């Protein structure tokens, strides 16, 4: 009996020892885990501080390229499916089958421009950027192209109107491209130099702008780039415009290898003859010619025809039937001669301008406040003339 009791006592002692040992091991493990977590958190905190310091350093180092970094996050837009990809063949704009295509339509009056009618009614140029307006132009006028002028200096320009204005202008460009794309229309993004004269004055900004546009619209067969609206003020093709164009075309081609690019020419895009024998090497570049029928007569038609005969592909990205000021008298006789020249040579053309501003070149009557669905009675004399010509293409 004593032996049995002794055995029981020893068993109890052993069980107690095992329990104590287990508790000790468990406690040690928890302490070890806690120590490891503390060390990890400390390391992570140190890494975070180092990362913050690195970020601060990188931010400081790249302060001058904020715009370039922002461009890298530009989302690509959805590509259209109902427009024909175009390319330049000889002096004509053609589709994939080599058939000549005539692009025609109006230009907006900028995207940061505001004007008032004689009764004090305000109209913004951006009021005409809508699917409804573009649809009216497509269905009723038979227009297939919209031009979107991005003024560089004039009228709160992209280059001097401040960053907030710049953002608003970009939104307007995107909206216009979206509306045109939804309607299977072509759209010209126009870097609208005017009072600045020499395109090299804002070459840096142009390079940044067209990088952004080309990255966003690389897959858009309907987007056309016009890289300098109207060089003027003594600049010429060889010394000023062509070097600028080579830089901007190269910038675009890094992202969009086949888009149509239009380059302005000297004297408000009249000196197309200066391009003869000195074109850019890019195969899908055209050269801009502008005319206003009451100012530019047969002498400019002859000059343009000479350039075409020498192999210069011309795109008339701006024209009207009034004076070069955008106002004044209308000359339909000369305008008809211009249209005959356009049709004979299959030249794409854009008329100035879609607005109800109180001037002769406006396509809408000043009294009409509608932003789409215009009747012929609501069109100006210029508007009626261009609508008729477009419908007879």
What gap in Å lies between CA 189 and CA 371, rounded to an integer? Answer: 21
**Inter-residue contact 209 to 193 (CB < 8 Å):** no
CB hemisphere CA count around 323 (13 angstroms): 5
Please give the torsion angle defined by the CA atoms of residues 263, 264, 270 and 275, in that order, rounded to the nearest 10 degrees. Answer: -40
| Token pair listed for 361 | 């070149």
Q: Is 318 assigned a catalytic role? A: yes
Both structure tokens of 128 = 């005409």
Q: What radius of gyration, in Å, describes the C-alpha atoms of the chain?
A: 33
Q: Which of 153, 226, 318, 323 is catalytic?
A: 318
Give dist(CA 300, CA 298) in Å, integer: 5
The CA dihedral of 236, 238, 240, 244, to the nearest 10 degrees, is 130
176 touches 129 (CB < 8 A): yes
Catalytic residue from among 230, 323, 359, 366: 230
* CA gap 205, 318 in Å, rounded: 23
CB 93 within 8 A of CB 286: yes
Q: Which of 278, 304, 279, 302 is nearest to 290 (CA)?
A: 304
- 353 prior amide bond cis, ω within 30: yes
CA distances from 196 to 152, 155, 336 (A): 8, 12, 32
CA atoms within 13 A on the CB side of 83: 23
Q: Which residues are catalytic?
A: 230, 318
């Amino acid at each position: 009996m004593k032996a049995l009791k002794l055995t029981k006592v020893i068993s109890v002692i052993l069980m107690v020892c095992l329990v104590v040992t287990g508790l000790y091991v468990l406690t040690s493990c928890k302490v070890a885990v806690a120590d490891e977590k503390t060390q990890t958190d400390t390391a992570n905190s140190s890494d975070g501080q180092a990362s913050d310091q690195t970020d601060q350093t990188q931010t400081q180092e790249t302060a001058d390229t904020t715009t370039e970094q922002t461009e890298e996050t530009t989302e690509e837009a959805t590509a259209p499916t109902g427009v024909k990809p175009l390319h330049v063949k000889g002096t004509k704009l053609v589709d994939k089958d080599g058939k000549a295509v005539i692009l025609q339509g109006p230009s907006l009056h900028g995207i940061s421009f505001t004007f008032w009618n004689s009764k004090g009614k305000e109209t913004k140029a951006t009021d005409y950027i809508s699917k409804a307006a573009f649809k009216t132009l497509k269905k009723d006028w038979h227009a297939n192209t919209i031009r979107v002028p991005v003024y560089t200096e004039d009228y709160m320009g992209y280059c001097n109107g401040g960053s907030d204005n710049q953002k608003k202008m970009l939104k307007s460009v995107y909206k216009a491209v979206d509306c045109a794309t939804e309607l299977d229309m072509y759209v010209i993004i126009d870097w609208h130099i005017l009072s600045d004269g020499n395109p090299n004055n804002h070459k840096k900004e142009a390079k940044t702008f067209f990088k952004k546009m080309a990255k966003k619209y690389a897959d858009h067969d309907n987007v056309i780039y016009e890289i300098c609206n109207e060089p003027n003020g003594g600049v010429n093709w060889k010394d000023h415009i062509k070097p600028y164009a080579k830089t901007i075309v190269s910038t675009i081609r890094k992202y969009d290898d086949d888009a149509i690019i239009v380059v302005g020419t000297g004297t408000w895009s009249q000196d197309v003859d200066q391009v003869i024998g000195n074109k850019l090497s890019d195969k899908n570049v055209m050269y801009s010619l502008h005319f206003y029928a009451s100012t530019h007569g047969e002498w400019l038609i002859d000059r343009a025809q000479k350039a075409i005969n020498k192999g210069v592909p011309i795109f008339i990205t701006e024209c009207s039937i009034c004076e070069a000021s955008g106002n004044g008298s209308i000359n339909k006789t000369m305008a008809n001669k211009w249209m005959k020249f356009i049709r004979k040579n299959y030249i794409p053309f854009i008329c100035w301008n879609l607005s109800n501003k109180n001037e002769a070149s406006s396509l809408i009557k000043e009294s009409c406040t509608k932003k789409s669905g215009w009747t012929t009675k609501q069109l100006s004399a210029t508007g009626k003339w261009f609508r008729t010509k477009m419908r007879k293409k």
